[in-house]
Amino acid sequence: MPTNHRVKLASRPAGGLPQPANFEFDAVETPALTEGQVLVKISYISLDPAMRGWMNESRSYIKPVQIGDVFRAGTAGQVVESQNPAFAVGDYVTGNLGVQQYAVAGAGATDPASPEYLVKVDTRLAPLETYLATLGMPGLTAYFGLLNTGQPKAGETVVVSGAAGAVGSVVGQIAKLKGCRVVGIVGDEEKAEYCTTELGFDATINYKTENVRTALRAACPKGIDVYFDNVGGEILDFVLEQIRLHARIVICGAISQYNNTTPVKGPSNYLSLLVNRARMEGIVVFDNAANYATAAREMAGWIQEGKLKSPKVQVEHGIENFLPALLKLFSGENFGKLVLAP
């Protein structure tokens, strides 16, 4: 039986960035399987901004992680033992298996959010890590959030924040596929360059070096029809100043606010929604579970036709590096989809 190193939630961050003391590392023997179970060796653990919210006690779209539980995470790995005829040793799978090296799962769970639920993936279609990016939650979030809620029309201007990230890079590319002008907001020049030359965005704004209000005005001369927001904060306010009639603002996240020790900054310019008869709407990808397969198939087609590039994947190594790796999301040090190989 292999030893399984795990990361458990030891305490809730009091506010601000999570600290090492909030996590406990342990090692246990993987248990013997019972009928229907499989043992998965986890290759990649998805590191996502949403994880910060799961550390809090407060009610959200998903239950908080409980103190003492293995910390929740999307993962991709390979079946190394099986007592389930649907999964053979060697199969590649994804599931919410948590921050650990091995997991026992697969015993008939039907809820995709369950830590028992496994999906087989085809690594001939795309590399395993892509199933945590474009063909996983970030890509599906981009797909459903942009298309169902943002409803971009050809000729419209779409702005996306966190544009070089796992979600943002897919949002921008799908918006281009739909014939929109796409402006990405990023935090460094390398990411800006990547968005315009690799992903085909029309313009980018570096929020760390540019005046975002002025830069948006220059990049969006007709105003903003769709804003896909991953960051919140003052950028949301600058966008609200410049939206067009009947604009749609998709609230996907607010990474700038997750580690606040002060109250969240509400958008002071929200009355622009009234002036412009515009809409601001929150999205959570889980609501679209019934349509994941159709969406992933369409995106896999775009990838194969060369119309959609999978985001860069940045792999950090070692389960002991979980926290420093996660913190890169909040400092903006990661580039593209951040995963941990445990």
Interface ranges with its own copies (CB under 8 A): 59-61, 232, 237, 251-254, 257, 263-284, 287
Q: Do residues 291 and 144 lie in contact, with contact meaning Cβ atoms separated by under 8 Å?
A: yes
CB of 253 to its own copies, least distance (A): 7
Which residue has 């390979």 as its token pair?
78
Give the residue from 129, 128, 133 showing the smallest Cα distance to 143. Answer: 133
Q: Per 3-state DSSP, what percentage of the chain is helix, strand, and coil (rounded to 5)?
A: 30, 25, 45
What is the CB neighbour count within 10 angstroms for residue 306? 7
How far apart CA 281 and CA 140 sit, in angstroms, is 17
Give the residue from 119, 37, 113, 44 showing the smallest Cα distance to 75. Answer: 44
CB of 267 to its own copies, least distance (A): 4
CB of 217 to its own copies, least distance (A): 13
DSSP secondary structure of 191-243:
HHHIIIIIS--SEEEETTTS-HHHHHHHH-TT-EEEEEESS-HHHHHHHHHTE
Closer to its own copies by Cβ: residue 124 or 277: 277
Closer to its own copies by Cβ: residue 1 or 271: 271
Closer to its own copies by Cβ: residue 25 or 286: 286
Closer to its own copies by Cβ: residue 184 or 253: 253
CB of 274 to its own copies, least distance (A): 3
Closer to its own copies by Cβ: residue 2 or 282: 282
**Strands 243-251 and 279-282, how do they pair?**
parallel
CB of 252 to its own copies, least distance (A): 7
How far apart CA 19 and CA 21 sit, in angstroms, is 5
CB of 263 to its own copies, least distance (A): 5
Q: Do residues 64 and 126 lie in contact, with contact meaning Cβ atoms separated by under 8 Å?
A: no
Closer to its own copies by Cβ: residue 14 or 274: 274
